[in-house]
Amino acid sequence: MKMRLFRFDDPAHAEAAELLPWHANGTLDPLERVRVDRHVAECVACRRDLAELLRVQEIVKADDDHDLAMPNSLDRMHALLDAGRRRRRTDAAGMKNKWARLPLWIRVALPVQAATMLLLVAFVIAGRSTEPAYYRLLGAAPTLAPDTDRIVVVFAPGTTEQTMRHTLLRIAARVVDGPNAAGAYTLQLPARTQDAALALLRARSDILFAEPTPLPQVRRP
Amino acid sequence: MNAASTRFGSDVVQIEPTGTECEQTVIPEDIALTDLMDPSALPDETRGEADDEDVALLRLIDAGSRSAFDRLYRNYYRRLKRFLGQIIYQPQLVEEVLNDTMLVVWRKAGTFNRASRVSTWIFAIAYRSALRGVRRSSVPKEAERGEDFDAFKNEPEANVIQSQLCARVRTALNVLSVEQRAVVELTYYHDRSYREIATIVGCPVDTVKTRMFHARRKLKTALDAQELSEK
């Protein structure tokens, strides 16, 4: 067969060069083996590499300068297994013994203390549940609690960011949503300042719209 | 295909046919192998009678059979010791890691579910234990393994040549990282496919190929340098 020199970036060469070690140890799948065989038959570099690989592999396999004897290893392994089993047993027994060695008053006080704490937790939880529960079917429309501290505002076109910021600072408002498609912002106000804020905003020429947020519709079954 | 049964001493174990669909191998928690096995990566034909025997032994071990464990231990001792010896260059640590590995096998035998060969599963445990062992140990990962070439003085000539070749390759292997040595050892000595190696070392197959590529280049450079220095 005609021998050739392949470019290193040739895909067939790259694949074969990469797979050569496993071609040498005979673990390639049949399709890969055929492809690599075909390439190696024509490629000078891969043939040389394969010969070198086989030589090194033979040396590695022949290297028996390893002490592979098993003197006492299994005995040590048994000791490890026994120690593990003993430890598990003694851990369980140790817990029992420790409890038995405690003074009587501690053995009484600890369960009483635990029961008291449980009662306290139960009491706190029961106290919280005095507020009316709010239930909603998963299929029902969202029913938010009325939010009287939120207003919707539309600024006049051309209002600068600096003016908007100044206006918001005056009424201590925070933008929580927007602008939407209509250019409206939803503002959060401090509690009980809604009326004053609305009056101030409506008096300004750069505010086109200032109204409380509409109350959500509560659907009744 | 019908299930077969195998007898070990007084214990009889049902063995499922090897062609059955397998779930992902359950890896012991303390080993933390993240990407252990793509079941399709290991063709069933790579499993044989030896694997059936190992599976049966694992089941007995899971049931608490010490004799089955002893048998598995003996079956794997030499292979594991050789493998670990090539990764860890401290004999005492090798023995310790080997027993750590088999301790995990003893505890986690019930988690093996045939997504890979038993030997692949055990080697994966051994590899992870070895890395932990190397990290624990004060000796650096790429510790030099000294070779005394004068030790061959009194051997017959043919043996001397062979021993010197082995020593040369062993010295060259010193320049590899632990991860590269594992790939080389599993390929050259244990005849593992790159897919199995990926499973054992817990990395993608492309990483295995890359490690091998760099390992071969380093080995070649080291061997060439040795030849030059001897001339």
Query: The domain that contains B43 carries what CATH number?
Result: 1.10.1740.10
Domain membership of residue A42 (yes or no) is yes
pLDDT score of A125 more than 80:
yes
CA distances from B223 to A116, A216, B151, B193, B220 (A): 76, 81, 20, 25, 5
Share of chain B residues as helix, strand and coil, in percent rounded to the nearest 5? 65, 5, 30
Query: Using one digit for the tens of pLDDT, what is the confidence trace for B129-154?
Result: 999 888 877 655 454 454 544 554 55
pLDDT score recorded for residue A67:
66
The pLDDT value given to residue B44: 43
> A61, B188 in Cβ contact below 8 A?
yes
Total domain count for chain B?
A: 1
The 3-state DSSP composition of chain A as helix, strand, coil percent (nearest 5) reads: 55, 10, 35
User: Rounded distance, CA A19 to CA A36, Å?
Assistant: 8
Question: Mutate which of B81, B188, B212, B226 to test chain A, going by most A C-beta atoms within 10 A?
Answer: B188
Residue A22: closest CA among B173, B195, B127 = B195
What ipTM was assigned to the predicted interfaces of this complex?
A: 0.71
Instruction: Give the bridge partners for A177, in sequence order.
Output: A186
Name chain A contacts of B219, Cβ cutoff 8 Å: 56
Beta carbons of B215 and B164 less than 8 angstroms apart: no
**What CATH code is carried by the domain that includes residue A160?**
3.30.70.1150
* Averaged pLDDT for residues A65-81: 78
pLDDT bucket at B230, cuts 50 / 70 / 90: low
CB contact under 8 A, A68 and B82: yes
Give the residue carrying structure tokens 């197959």: B205
pLDDT score for B101: 95
Q: At what angle do helices B157-173 and B205-230 cross, to 10 degrees?
A: 130
Domain end residue (candidates: A62, A82, A99): A62
Over residues B99-112, the pLDDT tens digits come to 999 999 999 999 99
Rounded Cα gap, residues B25 and B18, in angstroms: 15
Report if residue A111 sits inside a domain: no
Reported as a pLDDT band with limits 50, 70 and 90, residue A221 is very low
Please count the structural domains in chain A: 2
pLDDT at B229: 72
**Beta-carbon pairs below 8 A across chains A and B:** 83
Q: What is the mean pLDDT of residues B37-43?
A: 39
CA distance B59 to B67: 12
Average pLDDT over every residue of A152-168: 88
Q: What is the mean pLDDT of residues A8-31?
A: 89
Is A72 contained in some domain?
A: no
The average confidence (pLDDT) of chain B is: 76
Distance of CA B1 to CAs B6, B16, B49, B116, Å?
16, 9, 15, 19
Does residue A108 lie in a domain region? no
A77 touches chain B (CB under 8 A): yes
Owning domain of residue A180: 150-212
Residue A28 belongs to some domain of the structure: yes
Q: Which residue of A has its CA nearest to B66?
A: A78
User: Which residues of A are less than 8 Å from B43 in CB distance?
Assistant: 29
Please tell me whether the overall predicted TM-score, pTM, comes out greater than 0.80 for this model.
no
Domain that holds residue B172: 4-230
The whole-angstrom distance between B82's CA and the closest CA on chain A is 7
Contact (Cβ atoms closer than 8 angstroms) between residue B164 and residue B152: yes
Task: Enter the tokens of residue B20.
Answer: 């059955």
With respect to residue A70, please indicate whether it lies within any of the assigned structural domains. Answer: no
